[in-house]
Amino acid sequence: KNQVEQSPQSLIILEGKNCTLQCNYTVSPFSNLRWYKQDTGRGPVSLTIMTFSENTKSNGRYTATLDADTKQSSLHITASQLSDSASYICVVSDFTGGGNKLTFGTGTQLKVEL
């Protein structure tokens, strides 16, 4: 069964600090790995998308890494802002011909404080 595990479950950091979120997955056949940001009561918003051949992808203050051999990914957030407070979800896609079915992790709840 396809699974995506994330750590930590929750994290509190001070504004301006950096943090790194972790993701491990067992999804087959692997198509791509995405990191989403989800505000409470809202739909997930894509931050980065990586295929198996990509090791790193940046989007502003967000940098994602992927090790397809160990099936691990990380999301690094630099110079955090209060608006970064949200759930960060690692999502892995498999492609079986029926479209991109996404398997979601449980997310890391990030809170940025003054």
Binding site for other proteins (CB under 8 A): 31-32, 34, 41-46, 49, 89, 93, 95-107
| DSSP-derived secondary structure for 26-74 | E-SSEEEEEEEEE-TTS--EEEEEEETT-SEEEETTEEEEEETTTTEEE
Closest CB to other proteins among residues 57, 84: 57
CB of 63 to other proteins, least distance (A): 18
Q: How far is the CB of 36 from other proteins (least distance, A)?
A: 8
Q: Based on CB atoms, which residue is closest to other proteins, 33 or 112?
A: 33
Q: What is the DSSP letter of 99?
A: -
How near is the Cβ of 84 to other proteins at its closest, in Å?
19
CB of 114 to other proteins, least distance (A): 27
Residue 12 has a CB neighbour count (10 Å cut-off) of 11
Q: What does the alpha-carbon distance between residue 21 and residue 70 come to, in Å, rounded to a whole number?
A: 16
Task: Kindly tell me which of 13 and 49 has the beta carbon lying closer to other proteins.
Answer: 49
